[in-house]
Structure 1
Amino acid sequence: MRKKIISGLVASVFLISSSCQTNPVTGKKDVMFMSESQEIALGKEADPQIVAQFGLYEDPTLQRFINEKGQQMAKVSHRNNLNYEFKIVDSPVINAFAVPGGYVYFTRGIMAHFNNEAQFAGVLGHEIGHITARHSAQQQSKSILAQGGLLLGMILSPTIAQYGQEVSQGLGLLMLKYSRDAERESDKLGVEYSTKIGYDASEMADFFTTLQRKQEEGGQAIPSLLSSHPDPGDRYNTVHQLADAEQRKQNLTDPKVGRNSYLKMIDGLIYGEDPKQGFVENSVFYHPELKFQFSIPSGWGYQNTPQQVQMGPKDGSAVMGLTLVPGNSLEEAAQQSLQNYGLQPVESKQVTVNGLPAIAVVADPQQQQQQQQQQQQPLRTLTYFIQHGGNIYSLMGITTVQNFNNYFQVFSSSMQSFKVLSDPDKLNRKPERISIVTVSKASTLAQALRSHNMPDNRHNELAVLNGMQLSDQLPAGTLIKVVKK
């Protein structure tokens, strides 16, 4: 055993030493188990999946803008050899993210909340920074080393083995610490890159204030210790200091902000949920384009994407999902879908759901006997395959065998509520859009919103959207965002 441990240590040292690569940003040697070619391959594989998951937001003007600024910034980055791609995805969530190899994505939700070109440029630089500093590769490598260290420690120390779960949780916090360090490094790179193409990087700090207000508005603020991103308030001061220093370093005396030009570009941008992709109202999901509706169980949360609708209770004890499934008949679709998921039917019957032909199937994972030995609570599913409008829909509920009887009625009630959507109000529902209007006379933001018939109960939301306070004094001629259908 001792020889094996020593051999393992020698092999680990060799692996680490042979995996050291120069970080393009810092110039220092980092342990990396992912080559640049692997990063590029990973990005190429992930990109179509991301596009399929969210869909692209079709706006040629905005797409041209982010590509132009992205390519301009890529040239001044630490990895200008990569072929970068920049895309706007059709999601109301406020987010921007990057994958290895040069792929950067902005949601239409974050594009709606920027209030000038400089804020966008700062976040663009931040995301490019994740790519240039190879943060994904670093994270993967650190995770491999940490887990390897944990396993080795369990072999050498019975005490560590006894508290393996607690140690693993500690390693989870360590990984979050690495991630927060990566975020801080990307903030610094975002300041550097956006300043290099002439923008006022301090505006990125102001956007962090918008993020913080959105968190507080939704009651979803996350303690800094358990968040993979540094606290927005903490980042505000740091980024302002970095921006001042970078402008002096680059001798940038008149940095660009581009407020009015940016606001005019997003005039007409869809804001919030797009009804044509499906929307929820009073615990009922409506899909105007596909012309169906069904009830979501009371108190359940949901997530809607172009590929599927997922629902579940807050405690995570069950999940239900709706997807389109291929097949020339219900029987073929059911058989193929169950096979794809590795499910073995326990009970199956043909039913009718509000006049629509359907098949209801109770199924368990295949090789149930083996799974029962491997896990204490094996799973069971209830699926309704429903034919409507030339499509076949799968509504699948998943929970443990132990909880299945408790959730059976919840699943089946929701699935049996599926029906043709015929309500003209729901079929013709239009999305809300950003509308850029001009303040006609000097007033507060609150007064300006009222003059454009914005209801009082949405004033705080619109103040955050504009990156302002309701009491802010606005000169005549100021452009602001309102929301209209």
Structure 2
Amino acid sequence: MIFSLALVAGGCAQNPVSGKSEFVLMSESDELRLGRASHGEIIEEYGRYDNSELQAYVQRIGERITSRSHRPGLVYRFTVLDSEEVNAFALPGGYIYITRGLLAYLNSEAELAAVLGHEAGHVTARHSVRRYTAQQAASMGFTLGSVFLPELRTTGASDLFSLIGNALLSGYGREHELEADRLGAEYLAKSGYNPQAMIGVIRVLKNHETFEKQRAKAENREPNVYHGLFSTHPDNDTRLKEVIGQANVFLKSGTSRIVGRNKFLTELDGLVFGPSTRNGVLRGNTFYHQDLDLTLTFPTGWRVDNHPDRLTARPRTNDALLQITIQDINRRLLPREFLRDRLKLKDLRNGEQVYAGNLPGYTGTLEVKTSSGRQSGRVIVIYYRNNAYIFLGAAQNEEKRRRRDPDFLAVARSVRAMTRAERPLAEAQRIFLLQVKSRTRYAELAKKSPILNYPTEQLRLLNGHYPRGEPYPGDWIKLVR
């Protein structure tokens, strides 16, 4: 999804928010066209969460917010993505996304509206277009991918947009984020929500970040910290509070402010938590896939990312990458012939047979062309039932690839069928609601939780009680089963 564009003819356009004329290098028609073209790629990468009622609910809340925005004439499309990542972002032209992973950690309709309002603020102020103009002025020939998706923080997105560059990780910048906060708070107030819900969302994300950093330190790995939505300021930021406080002038006197906690929690009942069954489930460093009746194991400490069409894994040193894909076997080819004839890998070196138990395979080394240039690689194919599992490992140079070869081969050789006892491990976990009847502590609830790692902390995060809070009798809380 990399769009190489010739420089769009520049011109002045009225900013929908400020009403001032500004120089931009993209027309609204081009902005809408980019959003349409990119939407399909986002759905292909993440998948749309399969719950029509939840999708409709998020769309209704989003439409309520954007109908009070500075660009009410746009048709806004709000989509819940089937991803456990904690993320939300917007494409040009009114395409706004929130992951089920982020939904799980929110605790009211007002907080959901705050997330959607913030992203709508980026759209209405045309931040992506303004950033594109600034980037083009600084460096001709940038790809649009490096500009329009600054909040896509995931490794999967980084793989998909391999030429994006550093702009992907940097967010919109503090001034644009503050403007999105201000606009989102304004839209919240005009829609009947308390604009202070934005502070609540920031607290949720900051708590999640704190926990992830502590967990990463304990596990001796790099933290998977989200750098998009609201990431440029803490929840006690004085300037942020001032910006959000300005929205109070839009509140109608005598009207109650919508919180919508019970309604929101009801919508979350049954939400998939963590990996989905459809894409396979990762438990620790072992992957289970129910439909494929397959399991395989990665080296301890490797970071594994599960995408609809592939698995990717990296060691904590980030000096190598392993990608796993699957293809149907349509002709009776030997594994060596599959690599040569099907994948057109005619220049393999050091070829030899390999086995995963009694499953046949073949491997060889080759030069791999990546976004970082040419790297030394190893390809392995393992036949399992009527599928070919293709493992492509790459490192920065041949010496590093040789050091990683045992890891690449060990993963491929771990492929096998699941046992009967392992099949429940391939089922997705889901959120359910419980009303606390008596004094209860998360440490006690965690003993019965299927969450494998840090269940007490995870339950506190899910319910807005991190780091030391406890539920009170009568509270409805989210648990996992």
User: Which protein is bigger by CA-based radius of gyration?
Assistant: 1
In the alignment, is the contact (CA less than 8 A) between 1:98 and 1:127 conserved in 2? yes
- Encode CA deviations 1:403-422: one digit per residue, 9 max, x unaligned: 33222232222222222223
| 1:208/1:236 contact within 8 Å kept | no
Contact 2:304 2:311 in 1 (8 A): yes
The count of corresponding residues between Structure 1 and Structure 2 is 436
Q: Which amino acid aligns with 1:410?
A: D
- 1:316–1:427 distance in 2 versus 1, CA, 3 Å: same
C-alpha distance in 1, partners of 2:361/2:432?
A: 44
Residue in structure 2 matching 1:417, options 401, 414, 417:
414
Change in CA separation of 1:286 and 1:227 when aligned onto 2, cut-off 3 Å: closer
Secondary structure of the residue aligned to 1:405 is helix
Q: 1:378 to 1:52 in 2, by over 3 A?
A: closer
Cα drift, residue 395 of structure 1: 0.9
Residue 367 of structure 2: which of 361, 364, 367 is its match? 364
Report what 1:266 is aligned to.
268
For residues 168-317 of structure 1, what are the structure 2 equivalents within 5 Å? 176=170, 179-219=173-213, 230-234=231-235, 237-252=238-253, 253-317=255-319
Once the two structures are superposed, residues 346-377 of structure 1 have per-residue CA deviations (whole angstroms, 9 ceiling, x without a partner) of: 354555433333332322248xxxx9xxx9x8
Q: Which residues in structure 2 correspond to 1:61-80 (within 5 Å)?
A: 61-80=53-72
Indicate the structure with greater helix content: 1
The match for 2:455 is: 458
Give 1:55 shift: 1.4
Q: Aligned partners of 1:96 and 1:389: how far apart in 2?
A: 38
Code of the aligned partner of 2:415: F
Equivalent position SS for 2:139: helix
The C-alpha deviation readout for 1:297-323, integer Å capped at 9, x for no partner, is 333211111111101122322110111
8 Å CA contact retained: 1:208, 1:233: yes
* Alignment map for 1:26-105 (pairs within 5 Å): 26-105=18-97
Q: Is the partner of 1:277 in helix, strand or coil?
A: coil
Cα–Cα, structure 1 residues 346 and 92, in superposed 2: closer, same or farther, change >3 Å? same
Change (3 A) 1:61 1:238: farther
Alignment check: 8 A CA contact 2:109 2:260 kept: yes
Check if 1:379 corresponds to 2:361: no
| 8 A contact 1:268–1:433 mirrored in 2 | yes
The code of the aligned residue for 1:133 comes to: A
Instruction: Judge conservation of contact 2:280–2:289 (CA < 8 Å) in 1.
Output: yes
Counterparts of 1:474 and 1:227, CA distance in 2: 30
C-alpha separation between the residues in 2 aligned to 1:113 and 1:395?
34
Whether contact under 8 Å (2:114, 2:198) holds in the other structure is: yes
| Cα pair distance change 1:383/1:482, threshold 3 Å | same
Contact 1:323–1:393 under 8 Å retained in 2: yes
Of stretches 193-202 and 413-422 in structure 1, the one that deviates more from structure 2 is 413-422
Alignment partner, residue 358 of structure 2: 355
Q: What is the aligned-residue identity percentage?
A: 29
> Which structure 2 residues correspond to residues 328-477 of structure 1 after superposition, within 5 A?
328-329=330-331, 330=333, 334-335=339-340, 338-339=343-344, 344-349=347-352, 351-365=354-368, 378-399=374-395, 400-427=397-424, 429-441=426-438, 443=439, 446-447=440-441, 450=444, 458-468=455-465, 476-477=473-474
Letter in 1 for 2:38: A
Amino acid at match of 1:381: G
The 8 Å contact of residues 192 and 258 in structure 2, kept in 1 or not, is answered as yes
Matched-pair contact (CA < 8 Å) for 2:55–2:80: yes
Q: Matched residues in 1 for 2:400 and 2:44: separation?
A: 33
Higher mean alpha-carbon deviation, 245-254 vs 32-41, is at 245-254
Q: CA deviation at 1:256?
A: 0.6
RMSD: 3.6
- Deviation at residue 100 of structure 1 after TM alignment: 1.1
Q: Measure, in 2, the Cα distance between the counterparts of 1:230 and 1:471.
A: 23
TM-aligned CA distance change 1:343 to 1:190, over 3 Å: farther
C-alpha distance after superposition, 1:443-471 (max 9, x if no partner): 4xx53774796569633322221112576
Amino acid at match of 2:360: P
Tell me which residue corresponds to 2:101: 109
Mapped to 2, the partners of 1:379 and 1:452 lie a distance apart of 45
Could you tell me how far 1:250 is from its partner in structure 2? 3.8
In 2 relative to 1, CA 337–85 (structure 1 residues): closer, same or farther, beyond 3 Å? farther
CA change 1:176–1:405 in 2 (3 A) is: closer
Separation in 2, partners of 1:84, 1:447: 42
Mapped partners of 2:472, 2:301: distance in 1: 45
Question: Counterpart of 2:130?
Answer: 138
Deviates further, 196-205 or 249-258: 249-258
Shift in Å at residue 53 of structure 1? 1.3
- Where structure 2 has 5 or more consecutive residues not aligned to the other structure, the ranges are 1-6, 142-164, 217-221
CA distance in 2, matches of 1:172, 1:410: 29
Aligned to 1:10: none
- How far apart, in 1, do the equivalents of 2:309 and 2:408 lie? 20
Structure 1, unaligned stretches of length 5 or more? Answer: 1-14, 150-170
